[in-house]
C-alpha cells in the first residue's frame, strides 16, 4: 500500500525552498513594509527561493475606504517599489500578498497580487476574482463595496514548474484551481477571519492540495490587529498528499519547506487522478 511519507531521497531530487510570511498588519503602510522586509530577509537567510506575503500585508485599514486611499497605479508606488527591491536585493521570487491597485471605478480598487523575479522585474499579476461576503452576529464583511473583482486565472513559470495564483476567498471555488491545469504549487495569500478560518481554512487548503495533486503554500494574517479585527493565521505548506509540512498558528513569523519534484511524481504515479479526469 502506498505510504505518503515513505519517499526515498537522492542527489537527483529537485527541490525548491519556499516560505510563507505570516503577519499581523496595521493601518500604517510604512510600519507594515518594515515588518515584511525583516521577515523576507529572515526567509531568504534560511534559504528560501520564493517568499510569499499574506493578503493585505501592506495595510489592514480601519475602514474599507482606507485601501482606496492607498491605491497605486501599476508599475508605480512605494508598495510595488518595496516588493521589487526585496526580490532584487535577495535574488529571490517575491509574491506580494495583495495590494490595492487602481481600477476603472474611482471608489474601488483591484485586490492585486504581483510576483517579482530574482532580478526585481514583475513577472505576473493576478486580481482577486471572488469577493468575500459574510454576515453573522456582529461580524459583517462585503468586499464588493471597495474592491472590483478580477476575471482571469493566472499561472506563472518558476524553476520547479508552473505556479497558480489565488487569494483568500478564492479557496472556496475549486473550479478556479482546475483552470490552472498542471501546476506544482498553488499560492493562497489570505486574511481569513477567525470564525471562518477556524471552521474551514485547513480543510479547504488540504482539499485543494489533494484534488490538484500539488503543493499549497498559504501565507496568512494571524492575530489581533490594532483595528480590533482578529484573523485566523495558521499559515502553512501542504504537500500533494494533503500532509501539512509546516505551519504557524498565530503571530508574525516564517513557515518554510521544500517543493520536491520527486514527491510530486511519487503521488501522481501512485494515484494518477489527474489523468483520470473526464470533465
Tell me which residue has cell 459574510. Answer: 134
| Cβ pair 54, 43 in contact under 8 A | no
**Percent composition of the chain: helix, strand, coil (DSSP 3-state, to 5):** 30, 30, 40
Selected catalytic residue, list 17, 102, 103, 168: 168
Whether 128 is a known active-site residue: answer yes
What grid cell was written down for 144? 464588493
Active-site position among 17, 55, 67, 102: 55
In this structure, what is the dihedral angle of CA atoms 58, 64, 70, 72, given to the nearest 10 degrees?
90
Task: Exactly one of 17, 128, 143, 266 is catalytic; name it.
Answer: 128
Is 7 known to be catalytic? no
- Is 168 part of the annotated catalytic residue set? yes
Give the HSE-up count for residue 225: Cα atoms under 13 Å, Cβ half-sphere: 30
Residue pointed to by grid coordinates 503554500? 217
Q: Can you tell me the distance from the alpha carbon of 247 to that of 19, in angstroms, rounded to the nearest whole number?
A: 10
How buried is residue 12: exposed, middle or buried, by Cβ count under 10 Å (0-12/13-18/19+)? exposed
Catalytic (active-site) positions: 55, 128, 168
Amino acid at each position: 500500500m502506498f505510504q505518503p511519507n515513505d519517499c526515498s531521497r537522492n542527489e537527483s531530487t529537485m527541490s525548491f525552498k519556499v516560505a510563507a510570511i505570516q503577519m499581523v498588519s496595521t493601518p500604517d503602510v510604512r510600519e507594515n513594509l518594515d515588518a515584511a522586509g525583516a521577515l523576507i530577509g529572515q526567509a531568504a537567510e534560511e534559504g528560501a527561493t520564493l517568499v510569499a506575503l499574506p493578503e493585505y500585508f501592506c495595510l489592514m485599514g480601519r475602514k474599507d475606504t482606507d485601501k482606496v486611499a492607498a491605491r497605486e497605479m501599476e508599475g508605480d508606488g512605494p508598495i510595488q517599489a518595496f516588493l521589487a527591491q526585496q526580490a532584487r536585493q535577495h535574488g529571490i521570487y517575491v509574491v506580494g500578498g495583495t495590494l490595492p491597485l487602481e481600477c476603472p471605478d474611482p471608489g474601488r480598487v483591484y485586490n492585486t497580487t504581483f510576483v517579482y523575479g530574482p532580478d526585481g522585474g514583475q513577472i505576473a499579476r493576478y486580481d482577486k476574482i471572488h469577493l468575500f461576503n459574510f454576515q453573522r452576529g456582529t461580524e459583517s464583511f462585503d468586499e464588493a463595496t471597495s474592491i472590483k473583482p478580477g476575471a482571469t486565472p493566472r499561472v506563472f513559470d518558476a524553476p520547479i514548474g508552473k505556479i497558480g495564483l489565488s487569494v483568500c476567498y478564492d479557496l472556496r471555488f475549486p473550479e478556479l484551481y482546475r483552470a490552472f491545469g498542471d501546476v506544482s504549487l498553488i499560492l493562497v495569500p489570505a486574511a481569513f477571519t477567525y470564525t471562518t478560518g477556524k471552521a474551514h481554512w485547513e480543510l479547504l487548503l488540504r482539499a485543494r492540495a489533494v484534488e490538484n495533486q500539488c503543493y499549497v503554500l498559504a501565507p496568512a494574517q494571524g492575530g489581533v490587529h490594532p483595528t480590533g479585527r482578529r484573523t485566523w493565521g495558521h499559515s502553512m505548506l501542504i504537500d500533494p498528499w494533503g500532509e501539512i509540512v509546516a505551519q504557524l498558528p498565530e503571530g508574525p513569523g516564517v513557515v518554510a519547506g521544500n517543493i520536491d519534484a520527486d514527491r510530486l511524481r511519487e503521488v501522481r504515479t501512485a494515484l494518477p487522478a489527474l489523468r483520470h479526469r473526464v470533465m
